[in-house]
Amino acid sequence: MDTPDLSAPPHAPSAPGGKHPRSGVTHEHVRHTTNFTVVGNHLAQHPHLSLLAIGLGLYIQSVRVGTPVDIKSLTARFKEGATRIGAALNELEEYGYLRRERERIPDGRIVTRTVSCNDLASAARRRTSGRPHAPARSERPPRRPPAAPRPLPAVPQPGCKAPALLKQATDVLTGLRRHDRRLLLSACDTTHLAPGVAAWLEREVSPAAVRDALTTGLPAEGVRRPAALLAHRLTVQLPPPPPVGPRPAAAPPPVRHPLRNCDRCDRGFRAPDDEPHCRDCRTAAAHRT
């Protein structure tokens, strides 16, 4: 009998039927006996969930009871930001893998309890038995498209849209955030509002006066649509055009007399050429008389 060659490598596991696929994945699996989680393929291979939502669903089903899975805790655990994690949680809730219930605890506070569901059929039965539950995706109506953003109100238009005038108006709008951080405008909103500010500047209103008109007396409880608020103010508070005709002549500058020395005290002072003495010497001479 021949001696077996113990140094020969073992055969790799073969595909079903003894044939290797020409492409795609092959599996080399080991059966787990500890530290594992059974997850249904209806989640792992879900046709509509995003990859982040599937991975987050697998993680939530694998953790111990009591592990925090709120957005703040998950953001600290994973490198994805709060916005993406929040959207993934909403996906899981929409398709029935997650539900969040608000309940009052003994001290009177209201907290949110997160329930992970790995069996959608069981979750549906709980819902029909009267417990609050977000129904599975197949039971819910089709998702409505997001509502279109409301258009901004129209703003006054200047008589001449000179590039320099619009640039000055844009500078006024982009600087509003320095006076009130709630007035941070998008580039699209700034483009829409710039002609309205230009109409004010065209009416001989200074940039500082325009800024004061837009930022004074804002509501204290919050500004939901800052661009719409500014468009409203630019329209309803638009000042009238300046008066027709030449501007009044400016007052002449004050006369500045040359500097000279007093003939009595030699102190420097300003006075006309025919005045030889400073004010103090003139006052002292008047008292002597």
Query: Does 31 fall in a domain?
Result: no
Residue 232 predicted with pLDDT over 80: yes
pLDDT tens digits along 150-174: 888 999 999 988 999 999 999 999 9
75-84, 103-112, 126-135, range with greatest mean pLDDT: 75-84
Helical ranges in the chain per DSSP H: 41-44, 51-62, 71-77, 82-94, 120-128, 163-174, 187-202, 207-215, 226-236, 279-288
The DSSP string of 88-131 is HHHHHHHTTSEEEEEEE-TTS-EEEEEEE-S-HHHHHHHHHTT-
Query: Does 96 fall in a domain?
Result: yes
If one counts the domains in the chain, the total is: 2
Q: What pLDDT, on the 0 to 100 scale, is given for residue 273?
A: 79
Q: Clarify whether residues 56 and 132 are in a common domain.
A: yes
CA angle 44, 75, 134 (to 5 degrees): 50
Q: Clarify whether residues 119 and 59 are in a common domain.
A: yes
Q: What pLDDT, on the 0 to 100 scale, is given for residue 135?
A: 44
pTM for the predicted model, two decimal places? 0.39
Range name among 105-119, 190-204, 221-235 with the lowest pLDDT average: 105-119
Q: Clarify whether residues 132 and 170 are in a common domain.
A: no
CATH at residue 131: 1.10.10
Q: What pLDDT, on the 0 to 100 scale, is given for residue 235?
A: 95
CA distances from 72 to 77, 85, 100, 201 (A): 9, 9, 15, 47
Query: Does 81 fall in a domain?
Result: yes
The residue segments making up the domain with residue 181 are 163-236
